[in-house]
Amino acid sequence: MKSDEIIKSDHKAVLDMVESNSSVLDLGCGGGDLLELLTIKKNVRGQGIEIDEQAIYRCVAKGLSVLHGDIDTGLSEYKDKAFDYVILNQSLQQLKHVETVLFDALRVGKKVIVGFPNFAYCRARLRLFFRGRVPITASLPYTWYETPNLHFLSTLDFLDYCKEKKIKVERKVYLAADKRIQILPNFFANIGIFLISK
Amino acid sequence: MTKAGVGTVETNYFTFASQQDEFILESKEKLCPVVIAYETYGTLNKEKSNAVLILHALSGDAHAAGLHKGEDKPGWWDNMIGPGRAFDTEKYFIICPNVLGGCRGSTGPASLNPKTNKPYALDFPVITIGDMVAAQKALIDSFGIDKLLTVVGGSMGGMQALAWLVKYPERIRSAIPIATALRHTPQQIAFDEVGRQAIMADPDWNSGNYYEGKPPDRGLAVARMIGHITYMSDISMTEKFGRQKKNNKQPFKFTADFEVEGYLRYRGDNFVKRFDANSYLYITKAMDNFDASQNKPFHEVLSGKSLKVLVIAFKSDWLYPAYQSKEIVKACKYAGIETSYCEVDSTYGHDAFLLETKEETHLISHFLKSVSQKRGRA
């Protein structure tokens, strides 16, 4: 249940970042919940890409346009600035080739929205520090042997990276459960969502 | 149990082109008259906006659903067409024509040449997938249908759907190419050529002039056997036949000992009862010559079109591998067309497009719904 609330609040944050009637490419769109929300609430022209076959069927049942494929192989078939937004929500940390995909997303989208679990979240820190165990939190719910996550990063890691690569960070939203976090976000937020552009 | 299908159906015939107004083929050769056999299921609505064109594969025909009077074998896509099925006859008007060059009621090499009053045989002009589609357009015109809701087909049917996208994009709202390709690879051409050689190596073929004598049944049966091997997969063959032997008796050294041999012989022998060898030659050649992007890149053809496309491929299909479907998807992406693509996890090989009806039903019924709704919103 708790993770459900978190999914809702991160979708809400993305919803706030997207302009009405825009075009959206959702990379790793899963069953299409976010894309459906954007279609209904913001009348976006949406396109999803998803690797899981069963998730494709759920997207199609929602009337969404979805492509069965691996985003790790890149987005070379899309023209520059083909979409107003490219979304990488909860999929960045699962990519094999983060840089390739992120830069391709910045080429294909006028803006990119990236959302990922914050590894430096206070509960994660406590679990690691006091219990000596790899963090299992609401936003990082997996055991070490079944996690699909390949990269573990904090929100500060991401901001450092953007600075180094000269990626403009236009908006930052930090979340924990249903709340937006303003103070010490890298400590108190378990999800970070960023609107970036090149 | 699901609802009953479309019930008893019959094939209709549409005739067009006359001496004064001949049907001009892509080769610039002329043909008249042209007959197209077709079947319809469901009812065309008042706005004529609910028509779906179903396009058959190499050996298919107009009989896609229901039963012909006195027969117990339903049409080739029966479990996809009918009330509550993927192509819901309570919502849509389904048209399925036999291709030009075919032998199941449409004009083809076995038809009478009006100039000689004998079957055309090899005097029949070379036809293309584009010609097939042009003849289908004449049929659609005869119904007064301005825009088809969708054009859909597997294998060669998918090629026709792609040809509709290229030739008449303004006449369709969407397309569903299944287990198909923008063009044949050398491997696909090679299999077709072996089939053609099998027919032409049969002495009964007689340079195509066999209509008054014995047809080249052995050659055509072998062509069909080769075809069937390519329609299945290693896994599906193992599951279906294993190394099972038919019996232990050995009256002759080279009888069909294994189940798979018996199956292929049975399929081959059955095929010759309903198919014309010359049609096989003409149609496979049309497939080999097909190239959806003949004149310019496929994405340029699609660019700026307000269409929706659903592409379906099957994992174990090695005759039309998924990467060929992905090339279609790639072009659609580049052209900015709203596209959905699914690679269905199936072990049936190329035949999957006729067998994986549960997945296809889910994908197609929802897709058609969104295409119809999109029209409502616009």
CATH number, residue A27: 3.40.50.150
Residues B84 and B138 in one domain: yes
Q: What is the CATH number of the domain that holds B70?
A: 3.40.50.1820
Assess contact for B310 and A37: CB atoms under 8 A: no
pLDDT for the residue numbered B360: 97
Residues B211 and B329 in one domain: no
pLDDT for the residue numbered B370: 95
Length of chain A: 198
- Measured between alpha carbons, how far is B221 from B116 in angstroms, rounded to an integer? 29
- Tell me, yes or no, if B340 comes closer than 8 A to chain A by beta carbon: yes
Q: Are strands A83-89 and A109-117 parallel, antiparallel or unpaired?
A: parallel
Confidence of residue A146 (pLDDT cuts 50, 70, 90): very high
- Measured between alpha carbons, how far is B85 from B2 in angstroms, rounded to an integer? 9
pTM of the model: 0.94
The pLDDT tens digits along chain B (378 residues) read 446 899 999 999 999 999 999 999 999 999 999 999 999 999 999 999 999 999 999 999 999 999 999 999 999 999 999 999 999 999 999 999 999 999 999 999 999 999 999 999 999 999 999 999 999 999 999 999 999 999 999 999 999 999 999 999 999 999 999 999 999 999 999 999 999 999 999 999 999 999 999 999 999 999 999 999 999 999 999 999 998 887 766 667 777 788 999 999 999 999 999 999 999 999 999 999 999 987 788 888 888 888 999 999 999 999 999 999 999 999 999 898 999 999 999 999 999 999 999 999 999 999 999 999 875 443
pLDDT for the residue numbered B251: 65
Assess contact for B219 and B240: CB atoms under 8 A: no
Q: In 3D, which of B225, B283, B277 has the Cα closest to residue B256?
A: B225
Interface test with A, best of B329, B366, B375 (most A CBs within 10 A): B366
Quick: pLDDT tens for A14-73: 999 999 999 999 999 999 999 999 999 999 999 999 999 999 999 999 999 999 999 987
Assess contact for B137 and B172: CB atoms under 8 A: no
CB–CB contact B340 A60 (8 Å):
yes
In a domain, B148, yes or no: yes
Residues B16 and B162 in one domain: yes
Assess contact for B64 and B87: CB atoms under 8 A: no
Assess contact for B112 and B119: CB atoms under 8 A: yes
User: Treating both helix axes as pointing N-terminal to C-terminal, what angle do B156-167 and B129-142 enclose, rounded to 10 degrees?
Assistant: 70
- B174 catalytic? Reply is no
Q: Which pair of tokens denotes residue B69?
A: 């009077």
Torsional sign, CA B196, B325, B367, B5: positive
Search chain A and give the residue with CA nearest B332: A77
Residues B160 and B211 in one domain: no
Residues B28 and B109 in one domain: yes
Residues B296 and B264 in one domain: no
- Enter the DSSP assignment of A92: G
Q: Quick check: A7 pLDDT over 70?
A: no
Confidence of residue A3 (pLDDT cuts 50, 70, 90): very low
In a domain, B328, yes or no: yes
Residues B264 and B297 in one domain: no
In a domain, B240, yes or no: yes
Query: What range does the domain containing A9 cover?
Result: 2-197
A87 CB-near residues (< 8 Å, 6+ apart): A14, A24, A25, A26, A27, A29, A34, A112, A113, A115
- Tell me, yes or no, if B294 comes closer than 8 A to chain A by beta carbon: no
Q: In 3D, which of B198, B207, B112, B177 has the Cα closest to residue B308?
A: B177
Residues B192 and B179 in one domain: no
Q: Which pair of tokens denotes residue B172?
A: 């369709």
**What is the enclosing helix (H) or strand (E) of A86?**
strand A83-89
Tokens 């609910």 correspond to B50
> How many domains is chain A built from?
1
> How many domains is chain B built from?
2
In a domain, B2, yes or no: no
Residues B201 and B307 in one domain: no
CB–CB contact A63 B373 (8 Å):
yes
Search chain A and give the residue with CA nearest B310: A65
Interface test with A, best of B311, B338, B342, B344 (most A CBs within 10 A): B342
Q: Of B286, B310, B332, which closes a domain?
A: B286
Q: Quick check: A2 pLDDT over 80?
A: no
B330 CB-near residues (< 8 Å, 6+ apart): A77, B299
Q: Which pair of tokens denotes residue B306?
A: 């307000």
Query: What range does the domain containing B281 cover?
Result: 188-286
pLDDT for the residue numbered A1: 37
B158 CB-near residues (< 8 Å, 6+ apart): B55, B177, B178, B179, B180, B181, B320
Three-class SS of chain B: CCCCCCCEECCEEEEECCCCCCEECCCCCEECCEEEEEEEECCCCCCCCCEEEEECCCCCCCCCCCEECCCCCCCCCHHHEECCCCEECCCCEEEEECCCCCCCCCCCCCCEECCCCEECHHHCCCCCHHHHHHHHHHHHHHCCCCCECEEEEECHHHHHHHHHHHHCHHHECEEEEECCCCECCHHHHHHHHHHHHHHHHCHHHHHHCCCCCCCCHHHHHHHHHHHHHHHCCHHHHHHHHCCCECCCCCCCCCCCCEHHHHHHHHHHHHHHHHCCHHHHHHHHHHHHHCECCCCCCHHHHHCCCCCEEEEEEECCCCCCCHHHHHHHHHHHHHHCCEEEEEEECCCCHHHHHHHCHHHHHHHHHHHHHHHHHHHHHC
- B299 catalytic? Reply is no
Q: In 3D, which of B255, B257, B199, B256 has the Cα closest to residue B227?
A: B199
A150 — phi, psi (to 5°)? Answer: -105, -25
Q: What is the CATH number of the domain that holds B198?
A: 1.10.1740.110
B370 neighbourhood in chain A, CB within 8 Å: 63
- Measured between alpha carbons, how far is A154 from A135 in angstroms, rounded to an integer? 13
Residues B85 and B209 in one domain: no
Residues B265 and B313 in one domain: no
pLDDT for the residue numbered B3: 61
